[in-house]
């Protein structure tokens, strides 16, 4: 029930009755769902489509965002603006081909021309020097090792026509043999995990320095992501008004919103892949990066608390009035940041047992 409606009902002396009726309605609704709505929807795809088309807008924001992401992806792939996600994915696919233990003599035939095209567009637009150096090295290596068949020869001619001088010629971006963690890595990691807790009481105005936030984001960028496309970014709010306003939009932070010194909005994007099956990548990749971000903050002495961003139309509309987001973007979560208050408490939050979390699959014989 909205606050406005609550006020009106209060004035009319009907709030109590209305609240009871609302609770009753919720109970009846839940019972009806359990008895027949959900079992029916579970059984029939046609009914599901009908239900979500006419009776529920649960997935409408997700659908809109998927459509917007796909649109921008296809538009960028066509040019003239290059599609960095496509370039990243294709270069990554070539890397996998190059690294394969039993390397094929010919691979990447179906996307090599497209990749050179994207590289050429990226160079023409002076896009990220790092990405261009990486793409240049991988393409060079690819053309060196594959057998020359007509499609590859054509793509190679195209590649040779792209005038590019590496930004950092002394640094190779080719696959390499990885190093091992040092002997004490596990203990260090465990130590960091043991001190990280969700903090909800902060030293007033303990806004983390931008330098530290940048360091944490650099670490977060090392997170794995699907085809290395990294469909997320961090928008950091430092001014009290915006921090409190946005924190208050997330129900789970209302009790401590006023005391949050700074807030990161982890923003996900559906524009990195045209595939409907990939529509959740922004949550997966965004969350993997967020965890590293919070651990990095912790290692820098900055405490944090992840805050749920529920899929609620009204909240999102309000957020978009404060922070500019693209149509194909939406928040994955919020992260409160600051220095933990000296006497503030953190919850014990008992974890599940390993036996509950882990099962080794034993195939049937
Ligand atoms: C996705 C996500 C959403 C969360 N949302 C909230 C929230 O809205 N409000 C809150 O106080 N804590 C929130 N938390 C923090 C959890 O309550 C907390 O991580 C959990 O209870 C374990 O405690 P710990 O982080 O202190 O170890 C969230 C955590 C995650 C990962």
Reduced to 3 states (helix: H, G, I; strand: E, B; else coil), residue 18 is: helix
Do 292 and 224 contact (CB within 8 A), yes or no?
A: no
Q: Are residues 115 and 204 in the same domain?
A: no
CA angle 61, 66, 72 (to 5 degrees): 125
- Say if 112 falls within a structural domain: yes
Q: For 285-344, what is each residue's pLDDT tens digit?
A: 999 999 999 999 999 999 999 999 999 999 999 999 999 999 999 999 999 999 999 999
- Say if 347 falls within a structural domain: no
Q: For 197-248, what is each residue's pLDDT tens digit?
A: 999 999 999 999 999 999 999 999 999 999 999 999 999 999 999 999 999 9
Q: Are residues 136 and 195 in the same domain?
A: no
Q: Are residues 326 and 195 in the same domain?
A: yes
Q: Are residues 11 and 83 in the same domain?
A: no
- Say if 345 falls within a structural domain: no
Q: Please give all residues whose beta carbon lies within 6 A of any atom in ligand 1, as ranges.
A: 197-198, 200, 250, 252-253, 305-308, 333, 346-347, 349
Q: Are residues 260 and 319 in the same domain?
A: yes
pTM: 0.92
Rounded to the nearest whole angstrom, what is the distance from the C-alpha of residue 359 to the centroid of ligand 1? 25
Q: Are residues 112 and 45 in the same domain?
A: no
- State both tokens at 134: 């990486």
Confidence of residue 1 (pLDDT cuts 50, 70, 90): low
d(CA 259, CA 246): 13
Cα 189 from chain centre: 23
| Best mutation site among 249, 307, 348 for ligand 1 pocket (most ligand atoms within 8 Å of CB) | 307
- Best CA proximity match to 146, nearest among 183, 208, 103: 103
CATH number where 217 lies = 3.40.109.10
Residue 79 has pLDDT above 80, yes or no: no
Angle of the 84-99 helix axis to the 60-78 helix axis, nearest 10: 80
- State both tokens at 27: 């109970």
Burial class (CB in 10 A: 0-12, 13-18, 19+), 285: buried
- Say if 194 falls within a structural domain: yes
pLDDT at residue 13 in the model? 87
Q: Are residues 274 and 326 in the same domain?
A: yes
Residues ≥6 apart with Cβ < 8 Å to 213:
234, 236, 262, 264, 297, 337
Q: Are residues 91 and 50 in the same domain?
A: no
Domain count, the chain: 3
Q: Are residues 197 and 328 in the same domain?
A: yes
Give me the sheet containing 329-338, strands edge to edge.
232-237, 262-269, 329-338, 303-308
- State both tokens at 195: 């001190």
pLDDT at residue 81 in the model? 74
- Say if 302 falls within a structural domain: yes
d(CA 345, CA 200): 8
**Residue where a domain terminates, one of 160, 178, 209:** 160
Reduced to 3 states (helix: H, G, I; strand: E, B; else coil), residue 268 is: strand
Q: For 321-333, what is each residue's pLDDT tens digit?
A: 999 999 999 999 9
Q: Are residues 70 and 119 in the same domain?
A: yes
Instruction: Please report how many Cα atoms fall inside a 13 Å half-sphere around the Cα of residue 59, on the Cβ side.
Output: 11
- Say if 350 falls within a structural domain: no
Confidence of residue 266 (pLDDT cuts 50, 70, 90): very high
d(CA 240, CA 262): 8
d(CA 17, CA 91): 63
| Best mutation site among 199, 200, 248, 306 for ligand 1 pocket (most ligand atoms within 8 Å of CB) | 306
- Say if 351 falls within a structural domain: no
d(CA 102, CA 234): 39
**What secondary structure, in 3-state letters, does 76-114 show?**
HHHCCCCCHHHHHHHHHHHHHHHHCCCCCCCCCCCCHHH
| Best mutation site among 201, 305, 338 for ligand 1 pocket (most ligand atoms within 8 Å of CB) | 305
Q: Are residues 334 and 196 in the same domain?
A: yes
Residue burial 33-47, b: 16+ Cβ < 10 Å; e: rest: eeeebeeebeeeeee
Domain of residue 299: give its range. Answer: 188-338
Nearest CA to ligand 1 atom 3: 308
Give the residue, 352 or 8, on which the prediction is more confident.
Answer: 352
- Say if 182 falls within a structural domain: no
Segment 61-79 shows an average pLDDT of 90
d(CA 131, CA 88): 8
d(CA 234, CA 231): 11
Q: Are residues 23 and 80 in the same domain?
A: no
């Amino acid at each position: 029930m909205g606050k406005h409606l609550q006020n009106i009902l209060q004035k009319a002396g009907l709030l109590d009755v209305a609240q009871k009726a609302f609770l009753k309605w919720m109970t009846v609704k839940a019972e009806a769902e359990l008895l027949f709505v959900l079992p029916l929807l579970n059984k029939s795809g046609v009914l599901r489509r009908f239900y979500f088309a006419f009776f529920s807008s649960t997935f409408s924001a997700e659908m809109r965002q998927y459509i917007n992401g796909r649109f921008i992806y296809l538009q960028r792939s066509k040019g003239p603006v290059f599609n960095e996600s496509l370039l990243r994915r294709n270069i990554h696919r070539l890397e996998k081909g190059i690294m394969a233990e039993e390397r094929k003599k010919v691979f990447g035939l179906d996307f090599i021309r497209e990749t050179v095209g994207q590289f050429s567009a990226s160079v023409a637009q002076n896009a990220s020097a790092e990405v261009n150096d990486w793409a240049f090295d991988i393409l060079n290596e690819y053309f060196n090792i594959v057998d020359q068949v007509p499609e590859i020869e054509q793509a190679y001619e195209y590649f040779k026509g792209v005038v590019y001088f590496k930004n950092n010629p002394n640094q190779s971006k080719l696959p390499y043999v990885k190093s091992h963690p040092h002997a004490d890595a596990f203990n260090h990691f465990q130590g960091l995990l043991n001190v990280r807790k969700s903090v909800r009481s902060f030293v007033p105005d303990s806004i983390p320095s931008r330098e530290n936030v940048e360091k944490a984001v650099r670490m977060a960028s090392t997170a794995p992501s699907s085809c290395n496309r990294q469909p997320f970014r961090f928008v950091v709010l430092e001014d009290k008004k915006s921090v409190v306003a946005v924190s208050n939009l997330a129900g789970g932070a209302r009790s401590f919103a006023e005391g949050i010194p700074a807030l990161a909005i982890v923003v996900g994007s559906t524009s990195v892949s045209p595939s409907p099956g990939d529509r959740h990548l922004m949550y997966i990749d965004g969350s993997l990066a967020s965890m590293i971000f919070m651990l990095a903050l912790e290692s820098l002495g900055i405490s944090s608390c992840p805050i749920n961003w529920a899929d609620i139309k009204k909240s999102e509309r309000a957020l978009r009035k404060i922070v500019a987001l693209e149509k194909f973007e939406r928040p994955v979560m919020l992260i409160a940041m600051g220095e933990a208050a000296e006497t503030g408490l953190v919850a014990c939050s008992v974890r599940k047992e390993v036996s509950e979390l882990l099962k080794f699959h034993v195939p049937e014989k």
